[in-house]
A and B are shown apart, each in its own frame.
Chain A
Amino acid sequence: MLEPSGSRSLRRTEEAGFTASMTSASDTLAFALPPVGPAPVQPATIILVQAIGSRVSLPFSGRVHSVYRQACNIETEHGTLVTLLSQGVGNLPHGIRCILPEPVDFRAQCSGGQTVVADGACLRIPRAGMALHLSGATTWRCALAACVVDAGATRTLRLLLDVRATLREHAPASGFAPLLLRDGEPGSPLDRAMQRRLRQTLPVLDRATWSLDADSAMQALGQLVGLGPGLTPSGDDFIVGYLAALWSRSSLEPAVRSFLAELAEPIERLAAGTHLISRQFLLNAVVGEFSEPLAELVSAMAVNDAPRVLAGATRVVLIGHSSGADSLVGLLFGLRPSLLVGSACADGRSRVGPALR
């Protein structure tokens, strides 16, 4: 009669649409007096946790690093990042995704500097009156590195063209995507400088990737890391997407796997120079761990499921301001550089010839 686990019944709730009807009880709100503010700090609000990313190692202690509406970053004593995520956000390798009662807004709950203590069963931010119960959560593991994407296959190309179209349509006006995909000279001097930088660097990275030359690749990546707008600069997001592409290729192309192994240490060094948030994503990428939307997109590619690819690409593009788009650019570049830098890569060594573009 009873569900064995709370999270399963929850999922059924979503399927049955009751959650929607509950929250959309708009006639309820008609009686609500203004303002409907976010919940203030409550003593020991218990928050249940749905999933814990595989990169989160318990126990740990740390401090709140930065807080956003749907995410709360914690800097652990080991110098790593653990991110609390609200229910609507995709899983992260270093994420702890909360379920009921869904926090309205992390910013209303906690703030930077507060102490965080997590043992196996509970993560507490005492100052914020938050207690996350971890013991019933499942472990979320990113499956991207296990996906098999045939980068050279025509079907993959078709999917990538869809992805590029999505980028053209939805990518924001800042970051790498417009500089690579839209015609014309950007108006701002900063963007012009960035476009020049990309036009110099990406062909180098393209050749280095093609020839699996780690040293040259690192030279190019060094020009990209920390480059561009955003909390996680576009260059960092791009590198993450690029590494996702390499991991998805690594099953079919053993040489790419060794290439990744060669890149690991220098990228870790590179990551050490960025701030904690970017660093964590880069360090995850080095070991083949990525965010759920990116992993989901790649897995759709692996099974050649075009509608899912389209939906997945759209979901990725909408992450952050330009972060998602930038990582998608990186992914595209890592799988088919010619789709982005075909004209710039004048020596014709890209794997896919002009005819297919």
Chain B
Amino acid sequence: MSNLFHDGEAIVNVGLASFADSIGRAGGKAVQVDWSPPAGGDRAAGWNLAQLVNHPAVESANQSAYARYLSAQPVLTGVGMARAAVPGLGERMLLHAGPPIAWEEMCGPMQAALIGAILFERWAADAAAARRLADSGDIAFGSAHHHAAVGPMAGVISPSMPVWIVENAVGSNRAFSNMNEGLGKALRFGANSPEVIKRLHWMADVLAPAIGAALAKLGPLELKPLIAQALQMGDEVHNRNAAASSLFLKKLVPAALVSGFDQAGMAEAITFIAGNDHFFLNLSMAACKAMLDAAHDVPDSSLVTAMSRNGVRFGVRLSGTGEQWFEAPAPLVNGLYFPGYGPEHAAPDMGDSSITETAGLGGFAMATAPAIVQFVGGTPQDAIAYTREMSHITLGRNNAFTLPAMNFNGTPAGIDARKVLDTNITPIINTGIAHREPGVGQIGAGITRAPLECFTQAINALAAIRRALAPEQMA
């Protein structure tokens, strides 16, 4: 018999709410969809989306990709020089955050950070010469994401910078991130004054070797349990890393003490880490990158494997669409500004740190870090609401990262671009706000949303691939 005649089943009502009321009054059950035109009203994308909903190839690809994401085990194995560790990083090459972007097109803070890196590498004597060098085209610029690397804000990585090396112990992929310089004047915000460069040298010469020695004693450090623990302590490991940084230090110090490393150097290193509540951010990002790269390149998968901003454009990558970026202008951030600053001073959203949201952390785990919503005048209930809202666009929940405020449910993870388009719910991102002028640094923090347009393009591309591969399967 037709399943239409199964009695007592609910009717999904899409459109006129009065029809749902009538069904209810007649003794039936209706569930009303709070409908708005999918894909923000883009009919072509909406139609493409309709072909992909519950499509067996996409479902199975997502299952596979999601399983890889869930089962990934990011392990911190050590630190190394970027030139040796990061694959494909040329000798005269600088990596930056976000989707690829030409030098001329970059925003002020990004250019300034790259100039700082040129100075750090001693490829030019002063800022003016560094700019000329960059203008000349002799330096190659690349998206860090294309080199398995991520970095917050400008996200600049140069060959002589130390990087975290995180391995996915159940796959064969590695991920890298630079080291966090602390707040205030920092390269990632576009500061490139001598003190900034000096600190970068100290980080390469002292901090990294000291941590390397301690890590060698400690052995491989699993990052997932550490992040899980930090989530229980009020971090969402994007905009709040206080607990995670402490936990990391707690692991590091006993090993550091017996590492045999020069005591004075180690003391400086430990003091530096202890003074920076964001120290763990770069590790959290590398861990997320390792988990998501494990899930990348599954044909047909609509799983989002990267969200990132280069200060001009916001970019999204899907597991099933390879190296392609789907870009839209970077949104401005709704947030709380430090005294003396306001939206007129803010640079558009920038950095790879939204890799945390892509992995189900950051804004997706907001329920566990209500302190963050205060940036936008929110309450703990709002924080929970954000996490709940995100659960509607993810493939599932990652039970490795449980949230006390959500009754110890896993954090919603694995953004399905189809669901974003179908619901018009865009991923939420916790982020810092940089000053639009290079070198000023962070002027606030807040919340932003990934532009829907990126997901619209992504679904169009996925549908196009499907059509090309199996036209007969597309109704």
Determine if B60 and A121 form an interchain contact, defined as CB atoms under 8 angstroms apart: yes
Most buried by A among B59, B63, B70: B63
Interface check B410, CB cutoff 8 A: yes
Determine if B71 and A13 form an interchain contact, defined as CB atoms under 8 angstroms apart: yes
Determine if B170 and A16 form an interchain contact, defined as CB atoms under 8 angstroms apart: yes
Selected contact of B59 from candidates A6, A27, A133, CB within 8 Å: A133
Interface check B294, CB cutoff 8 A: yes
Question: Which chain B residues lie closer than 8 Å to A48 at the CB level?
Answer: 63, 66-67
Most buried by A among B65, B67, B222, B391: B67
Give 19 CB contacts A-B under 8 Å.
A6-B64, A9-B171, A12-B170, A13-B73, A21-B222, A31-B233, A32-B232, A32-B404, A33-B404, A40-B407, A42-B409, A43-B392, A46-B396, A48-B67, A100-B71, A101-B398, A121-B54, A136-B60, A136-B63
- Complex: A6 Cα to B171 Cα, angstroms: 11
Interface check B224, CB cutoff 8 A: yes
Question: Which chain A residues lie closer than 8 Å to B62 at the CB level?
Answer: 133
| Residues A101 and B410 in contact in the complex (CB < 8 Å), given A28-B232, A133-B59 | yes
- Complex: A39 Cα to B402 Cα, angstroms: 10
- Complex: A36 Cα to B391 Cα, angstroms: 20
Selected contact of A10 from candidates B71, B173, B396, B400, CB within 8 Å: B71
Determine if A28 and B228 form an interchain contact, defined as CB atoms under 8 angstroms apart: yes
- Complex: A23 Cα to B60 Cα, angstroms: 27
- Complex: A115 Cα to B29 Cα, angstroms: 15
| Residues A9 and B172 in contact in the complex (CB < 8 Å), given A21-B225, A25-B229 | no
Within 8 A of B (CB), among A1-28: 1-3, 5-7, 9-10, 12-13, 16, 18, 21-22, 25, 27-28
Determine if A135 and B59 form an interchain contact, defined as CB atoms under 8 angstroms apart: yes
- Complex: A40 Cα to B388 Cα, angstroms: 13
Interface check A112, CB cutoff 8 A: no
Determine if A101 and B408 form an interchain contact, defined as CB atoms under 8 angstroms apart: no
- Complex: A134 Cα to B60 Cα, angstroms: 8
Interface check B395, CB cutoff 8 A: yes
Interface check B313, CB cutoff 8 A: no
- Complex: A115 Cα to B3 Cα, angstroms: 12
A135 nearest CB neighbor, chain B only = B60
Question: Which chain A residues lie closer than 8 Å to B297 at the CB level?
Answer: 2
Interface check B9, CB cutoff 8 A: yes
Interface check B184, CB cutoff 8 A: no
How near does chain A come to B88, taking the closest CB pair, in angstroms? Answer: 14
- Complex: A327 Cα to B154 Cα, angstroms: 66
Within 8 A of A (CB), among B46-83: 54, 56, 59-60, 62-68, 70-71, 73
Determine if B67 and A99 form an interchain contact, defined as CB atoms under 8 angstroms apart: yes
- Complex: A264 Cα to B225 Cα, angstroms: 53
Question: Which chain A residues lie closer than 8 Å to B71 at the CB level?
Answer: 6, 9-10, 13, 100
How near does chain A come to B269, taking the closest CB pair, in angstroms? Answer: 24
For the complex of A and B, the 5 pairs showing the least CB-CB separation, nearest first, are: A6-B67, A135-B60, A31-B232, A25-B225, A46-B396
| Residues A42 and B171 in contact in the complex (CB < 8 Å), given A21-B222, A133-B59, A135-B63 | no
Question: Which chain A residues lie closer than 8 Å to B60 at the CB level?
Answer: 121, 133, 135-136
Determine if A27 and B229 form an interchain contact, defined as CB atoms under 8 angstroms apart: yes
- Complex: A1 Cα to B296 Cα, angstroms: 10
Interface check B263, CB cutoff 8 A: no
Determine if A101 and B397 form an interchain contact, defined as CB atoms under 8 angstroms apart: yes
Interface check B332, CB cutoff 8 A: no
Interface check A122, CB cutoff 8 A: yes
- Complex: A40 Cα to B173 Cα, angstroms: 34
Interface check B399, CB cutoff 8 A: yes
Determine if B56 and A2 form an interchain contact, defined as CB atoms under 8 angstroms apart: no
A33 nearest CB neighbor, chain B only = B404
Number of A-B contacts (CB under 8 A): 126
| Residues A39 and B396 in contact in the complex (CB < 8 Å), given A2-B68, A133-B59 | no
- Give the number of chain B interface residues (Cβ < 8 Å): 47
Within 8 A of B (CB), among A89-108: 99-102
Interface check B169, CB cutoff 8 A: yes
- Complex: A102 Cα to B297 Cα, angstroms: 25
Determine if A32 and B68 form an interchain contact, defined as CB atoms under 8 angstroms apart: no
Contact with B along A103-134 (1 / 0, CB 8 A): 00000000000010100111000000000010
Determine if B66 and A115 form an interchain contact, defined as CB atoms under 8 angstroms apart: no
Most buried by B among A21, A22, A46: A46
Question: Which chain B residues lie closer than 8 Å to A189 at the CB level?
Answer: none
How near does chain A come to B174, taking the closest CB pair, in angstroms? Answer: 10
Question: Which chain B residues lie closer than 8 Å to A122 at the CB level?
Answer: 54, 59
Question: Which chain B residues lie closer than 8 Å to A195 at the CB level?
Answer: none
| Residues A39 and B56 in contact in the complex (CB < 8 Å), given A1-B173, A3-B68, A9-B71 | no
Most buried by B among A2, A39, A48: A2
Determine if A18 and B73 form an interchain contact, defined as CB atoms under 8 angstroms apart: yes
Question: Which chain A residues lie closer than 8 Å to B298 at the CB level?
Answer: 2
How near does chain B come to A9, taking the closest CB pair, in angstroms? Answer: 5
How near does chain A come to B32, taking the closest CB pair, in angstroms? Answer: 15
- Complex: A284 Cα to B28 Cα, angstroms: 40
Extra 9 A-B pairs, beta carbons < 8 Å, given A28-B232, A48-B66, A133-B62: A25-B228, A28-B225, A39-B407, A42-B397, A48-B67, A100-B70, A102-B399, A122-B59, A136-B64
Determine if A37 and B59 form an interchain contact, defined as CB atoms under 8 angstroms apart: no
- Complex: A190 Cα to B71 Cα, angstroms: 51
- Complex: A1 Cα to B297 Cα, angstroms: 10
Question: Which chain A residues lie closer than 8 Å to B70 at the CB level?
Answer: 100-101
Interface check A45, CB cutoff 8 A: yes
Interface check A216, CB cutoff 8 A: no
B243 nearest CB neighbor, chain A only = A31
A24 nearest CB neighbor, chain B only = B225
- Complex: A128 Cα to B397 Cα, angstroms: 15
Question: Which chain A residues lie closer than 8 Å to B397 at the CB level?
Answer: 42, 45, 101
Within 8 A of A (CB), among B388-429: 391-392, 395-400, 402, 404, 407-410
How near does chain A come to B289, taking the closest CB pair, in angstroms? Answer: 14
Determine if A100 and B67 form an interchain contact, defined as CB atoms under 8 angstroms apart: yes
Within 8 A of A (CB), among B289-344: 294, 296-298
- Complex: A6 Cα to B399 Cα, angstroms: 17
Determine if A46 and B228 form an interchain contact, defined as CB atoms under 8 angstroms apart: no
Interface check A166, CB cutoff 8 A: no
Interface check A61, CB cutoff 8 A: yes
Contact with A along B167-199 (1 / 0, CB 8 A): 001111100000000000000000000000000
Question: Which chain A residues lie closer than 8 Å to B6 at the CB level?
Answer: 61, 115
- Complex: A133 Cα to B400 Cα, angstroms: 20
Question: Which chain B residues lie closer than 8 Å to A121 at the CB level?
Answer: 54, 56, 59-60
Within 8 A of A (CB), among B248-304: 294, 296-298
- Complex: A28 Cα to B224 Cα, angstroms: 11
